[in-house]
Chain A
Amino acid sequence: MENKKVRIALTKGRIENKAVDLLEKIGYDVSELRNKGRKLILSISGEDIEVVLAKAADVITYVEHGVCDFGIVGKDTIMEHGGKFYEIADLGFGRCRFALAVKEGADFFAGYGVKTVATKYPNVTRRHFEEMGIDVDIVKIEGSVELAPLVGLADGIVDIVETGTTLKENGLEVFHDVAPISARLIVNTVSLKLKQERILEIVDKIKENLE
């Protein structure tokens, strides 16, 4: 049981690049990860580790079902999708935040009417306003959410904010923060228990090499 391969799922894109840097810093041979072509399953030579590339939400699904032992995924996806796994470390990169944004100078809480919030993250939004005890109408938008308040569909948006430049360019501003976000290391609950030594060894190496 202990000698089986350990499989890590990485979120494609920005998190992937940072994660590969991290693996390299640990001392793993990441050449196959750098020159991956179209391959989706990659190996680290000289190690019992296999790397899988997937979209953020799929990383959670693979880890939850135990077909991957580890996952590296943003807290935003974890908050939106949930799931049963251990969230064992904050990797520090991919740092940004969920925030409620409104048109510049607007007071989101003004008046008695039920407010409308546009978002790509309906679960995060619902939970946030539930915790505040406020009724809101939530509209799910797939593309640029910033448009919704500008054309009058919504009073505000809940979205990921990094620098706030996109908001500013569209005449919006942060009304209040909802939650901080960064990349997280997640582990399947059964893997951690069945391959404890190997998994913790990797976790320690990762933690030692965080910036």
Chain B
Amino acid sequence: MKRYAFLTPEGTRDMLFEECAAKRDISERITKLFESYGYSEVITPGLEFYDVFSGKGRSIPQENMYKLVDGKNRLMVLRPDNTMPIARLAATRLKKEELPLKLFYNQNIFMVNPKDSGRDDEISQSGIEILGGDRGSAALEALVLAAKALAACDEDYRLEIGDSGIFAELIAGHGYDDLKVDKLRHAIDTKELPALDRLYKDHTDDDEAAFKALPRLFGGFEVFDEARKYLHGEVLEEKLNKLKKLCEKLGELIPKEKIRVDLGLVHKKDYYTGIIFRGYVEGYGQPVLSGGRYDKLLGEFGRDADAVGFAVNVEAAAKVLLKKDRARFIKFPDVLVFGEDNIAVMKHCEELIDEGKTVYRFLGECPKCAAKYAEEHGIKRVDIVDKDGKITSEEV
């Protein structure tokens, strides 16, 4: 036997029993939520052409993608993102469907993580995309659904909202080269305050003061008042007002204290063009939900339309659920059935199932072993079927 025959690749794992139950529980509840709001399900291939994920405003770093070649020597990737294939789909197979389109998905993405980082290379996502429609209404709907999806995982969630347009507006007109923009985006994204303080020690204009302030502008609704000190000009003020109004509307639909604001959110995926949001729950060190507005992505595939969407990291949510209440997901069959006559035994199993019970048919030889198995596996009742079809029921 070869060494790797016994292992799963780094960043992947087998999921067992209650882990599966918790994952299915969360994805079923989220799916139900999406369906109840009239979203339609799509499934895109796990294998896609590299080009889908490598364009002007939609580049995933190539070192983060699992790549392979097809029979014609073309470059393929294991799907590293769910939004881009759906944009492709909307611009091709769904081209004739009228907008707005409301789609949802339950599928995995794959990414190459740094070695030994303990991060997952395969992530299950459940998410929605709203393509087209009135911008404000679509964003509000996406946020409400995001809040409900988070609540399915943990009532004590936080939904954090920002606007990547603020950074874009500040950067515009400075003539910074790509390297500088990347560095600045990274510093703001990671709230690397020392770097920003050094970079703009003697800031000469409002924008530079704003760059320094951005990572500090997070918290409750009071952030909007604070932000006015740093964000000037018609465009920025309008963005700020719009975001505030959106948050206030959302506050009428979900508890206000769940809503957080972070004006320093500058998503690394550069297809986001407006509001961006993240969901947090206690017990998982990274956001369990992330999403935002991406108005240019569909255009890249030849169908201009605004869009907004989000994805929930289902496995992360399941982990949180398991940590809170593992016992809820450990399931035992109701009855163990044992007997020598195969036909009689199977018939009895069927009867029990028809009554709404779950059964475990014991495949061993001796009645004692059957009783022992039931005891060890939390099965509360043992039914022994004798040759004549007579049934003796015993509680364990």
Chain A contact residues, CB within 8 Å of chain B = 1, 4, 61, 64-67, 82-90, 131, 184, 187-194, 196
Contact = CB atoms under 8 A, between A and B. Distances in A.
Interface stretch (B24-32, B187-195, B347-355, B358-366): B187-195
A4 B156 CA distance: 14
Nearest to A84: B286
Contacts of A89: 193-194
Contacts of A87: 190-195
A86 B219 contact: no
Nearest to A67: B285
Nearest to B179: A131
A97 B218 CA distance: 32
A64 B285 contact: yes
Given A61-B118, A193-B260, A193-B262, A85 B284 contact: no
* A interface majority secondary structure: mixed
B151 to A, nearest CB: 15
Give the residue among A131, A184, A194 with the most B Cβ atoms within 10 A: A194
Contacts of B118: 61, 65
Given A87-B193, A88-B191, A188 B158 contact: no
Nearest to B262: A193
Given A1-B282, A194-B280, A189 B193 contact: no
A65 B285 contact: yes
A88 B193 contact: yes
8 contacts: A1-B156, A65-B118, A66-B284, A84-B286, A90-B193, A131-B179, A189-B286, A196-B219
B285 A188 contact: yes
Given A61-B118, A87-B194, A190 B285 contact: yes
Contacts of B195: 87
A190 B280 contact: yes
B129 interface: no
Contacts, number: 60
Given A65-B118, A82-B114, A90-B194, A194 B285 contact: no
Contacts of B192: 86-87
Contacts of A61: 117-118
Contacts of B287: 189-190
The 7 closest A-B pairs by CB, nearest first: A66-B285, A90-B194, A86-B191, A87-B192, A65-B285, A190-B280, A193-B280
Give the residue among B114, B191, B197, B285 with the most A Cβ atoms within 10 A: B285
B306 interface: no
Contacts of B285: 64-67, 188-191
B282 A86 contact: no
B143 to A, nearest CB: 16
Interface string B141-159: 0000000000000001010
A64 B118 CA distance: 10
Q: How big is the B interface, by class? A: 20 to 34
B291 to A, nearest CB: 16
A184 B192 CA distance: 10
Contact of B286 (A86, A88, A190, A192): A190
A58 to B, nearest CB: 11
A190 B191 contact: no
B190 A86 contact: yes
Given A87-B191, A90-B197, A189-B285, 5 more contacts: A64-B285, A66-B285, A67-B285, A89-B193, A192-B191
B160 interface: yes
Contacts of A184: 194
Nearest to A184: B194
A4 B282 CA distance: 10
Contact of A85 (B114, B190, B197, B280): B190
Nearest to A87: B192
A190 B158 CA distance: 10
Given A82-B114, A188-B285, A193 B160 contact: yes
Nearest to B157: A194
A119 B117 CA distance: 21
B213 to A, nearest CB: 14
A61 B284 CA distance: 14
Nearest to B191: A86
A184 B187 CA distance: 14
A192 B287 CA distance: 12
A193 B194 contact: no
Give the residue among B179, B191, B197, B284 with the most A Cβ atoms within 10 A: B191
B127 to A, nearest CB: 19
Interface string B166-195: 000000000000010000000000111111
Contacts of B114: 82
Nearest to B219: A196
